[in-house]
Amino acid sequence: MTSSSIGVAVIGAGMAGKAHAAGYRAATAVYGDALPPVRLVSVADAYAPLAEDAARRFGYERFDTSWQAIAAADDIDVVSVVVANRLHREIVQALLASGKHVLCEKPLSDTLDDARAMVAAAESTPDTIARIGLTYLRSPGIAFLGDLVRSGRLGRLVNFAGKYWTDYACDPDGPISWRFKGPAGSGALADVGSHLTYIAELFGGLVAQVRGGTLHTAFTTRPKPLGQVIGHEHAAVSDEREAVENDDVAGFFVDFAGGGTGSLQVSRVAAGHPNTLEFEVFCERGAVAFDFRHPGEVQVSLPTDDHALAGPRTVILGPEHPYWRGGLAMDAPGVGLGQNDGFVFQARAMLEEVAGVPEAESLPRNADLAVGLHNMQLLDAAAQSATAGGAPVTVPTLLSQS
């Protein structure tokens, strides 16, 4: 990075887009002053009122109504792409071709062909940085437990059991949107399953095989909205309905290449669970557990010779755990944190890489697009398994585009 400052833009002003915009705004206030000046330049969205509101709210200099304006702007260096999955390929390719660094939301795209093309575009523009946001890896609790399990202190992994239940689609009369369109596996599996799968691989390593896949659509039609649908919000609807094309619920088993197994279940119609990400990891000599409804604590069962003390204990997170010290304004133990903090840490890692700041063990880089492709290949294997009645499906090796 040769510029004396870094200009930032966000394409997409919906729910996750606002999280990216806020993340960049706060990124300069964490982990010291190693960054050059960061300019918050533009938030772009095809719906002008949304773009204007987000730009004003988060302190960006202007708003735009097309991604093409961001690609053409000479005062922008780093761009987050946070729009419908089917739009990712065209936008990311154009941004890379214009010399901009890109942080793309997960999943990488809605088809494997598009994802492969995005990886190829990143490889053909080596002077640009192309990364995918895997935000939950920035959760201090998840990162800490991942380090603990991989250290071998608890012995080899036996089983990962995880679920990600949401209820944003539990109303059958909620409006149709792009989230309900696409092939098998592009619904709840792609939306929240993309998170659960990379978390599973944090603990178990690469998945070699998927089996027992199931996909279910609970509500086969939804009404057309009368206006703009933003994020997961409801909107006024008409009497006309459209078909839901993808899955509301998905489940599958995985076999890790290094040994051990896992069971994963996701839903967007789990009434009463607005954002329940929960998992347990069982190892030879202990176990760990995490519930994102209580993100400031984890459960740990450590090996002990005293059976009277055996069992899980709650660990309250604090400055000795990943991301905490210097990453929070009040970084004392037990002050609490949430999902938004992950976007701050993610943005900071992106800005430091662009600025050429040496990578710190406490703030690892974001994953490259090949990891995003692998994540999609794993999800595709789950969808293939479901289509084949639960038959086992091999997951391509990471970095493979075959």
One-character DSSP codes across 10-50: EE--SHHHHHHHHHHHHHTTSS-S-SPPEEEEEEE-SSHHH
How would you classify residue 311: left for phi > 0, otherwise alpha for psi between -120 and 50, otherwise beta?
Answer: left
User: Is the pLDDT at 255 greater than 50, yes or no?
Assistant: yes
User: Is the pLDDT at 232 greater than 80, yes or no?
Assistant: no
User: Is the pLDDT at 388 greater than 50, yes or no?
Assistant: yes
Report the CATH architecture of 140-334+374-385: 2-Layer Sandwich (3.30)
Residue 174's identity, in one-letter code, is: G
Whole-model pTM? 0.94
User: Is the pLDDT at 1 greater than 70, yes or no?
Assistant: no
Average pLDDT over residues 377-382: 98
Residue 124's identity, in one-letter code, is: S
In degrees and rounded to multiples of 5, residue 289 shows phi and psi of -150, 150
| Number of helices followed by number of strands (H, E) in the chain | 10, 18
Q: At what angle do helices 369-387 and 193-204 cross, to 10 degrees?
A: 110
Element (DSSP H or E) covering residue 276: strand 276-283
Cα-Cα-Cα-Cα dihedral sign, residues 348, 349, 351, 355: positive
How are beta strands 157-165 and 130-133 bridged, if at all? unpaired
Alpha-carbon distance of 95 to 81, in angstroms, equals 10
pLDDT digits (tens, 9 = 90+) for 279-325: 999 999 999 999 999 999 999 999 876 777 778 999 999 999 999 99
Taking the domains of the chain in order of start, what are their residue ranges?
6-135, 140-334+374-385
**Closest by alpha carbon to 267, among 166, 379, 335?**
166
Residue 28's identity, in one-letter code, is: T
DSSP string, 180-245: G-SSTTSSHHHHTHHHHHHHHHHHH-SEEEEEEEEEE-S--EEEEESS---TT----EEEEEEE--
Return the structure tokens found at 226: 């009368």
Residue 257 contacts residue 378 (beta carbons within 8 Å): no
Q: How confident is residue 29, by pLDDT bands cut at 50, 70 and 90?
A: very high
- 91 CA to centre of own chain: 19
How are beta strands 261-267 and 207-216 bridged, if at all? unpaired
pLDDT digits (tens, 9 = 90+) for 34-89: 999 999 999 999 999 999 999 999 999 999 999 999 999 999 999 999 999 999 99
pLDDT digits (tens, 9 = 90+) for 133-178: 999 999 999 999 999 999 999 999 999 999 999 999 999 999 999 8
| Percentage of residues in the chain having pLDDT higher than 70 | 97
**Closest by alpha carbon to 391, among 294, 268, 264, 253?**
253
Residue 173 three-state SS = coil
Report the pLDDT value the prediction gives residue 282, as an integer from 0 to 100. 98
Mean pLDDT for the chain? 94
Residue 257 contacts residue 206 (beta carbons within 8 Å): yes
Alpha-carbon distance of 273 to 140, in angstroms, equals 22
Residue 298 contacts residue 317 (beta carbons within 8 Å): yes
Sequence-distant (≥ 6) Cβ neighbours of residue 256 within 8 angstroms: 157, 160, 201, 204, 205, 206, 207, 208, 262
Comparing 73-87, 247-261, 387-401, the range with the smallest average pLDDT is 387-401
- Reported for 110-113, long-range contacts at CB under 8 A and 24+ positions apart, including other chains, are 110/85, 110/86, 110/182, 110/183, 110/186, 110/190, 111/183, 112/373, 112/376, 112/377, 112/380
Return the structure tokens found at 308: 């009277």
Return the structure tokens found at 310: 């055996």
User: Is the pLDDT at 401 greater than 70, yes or no?
Assistant: no
Average pLDDT over residues 89-103: 98
Neighbours of 144 (CB within 10 A): 21
CB-side exposure of 240: number of CA atoms within 13 Å?
A: 3
Report the pLDDT value the prediction gives residue 208, as an integer from 0 to 100. 98
Output the CATH code of domain 6-135: 3.40.50.720
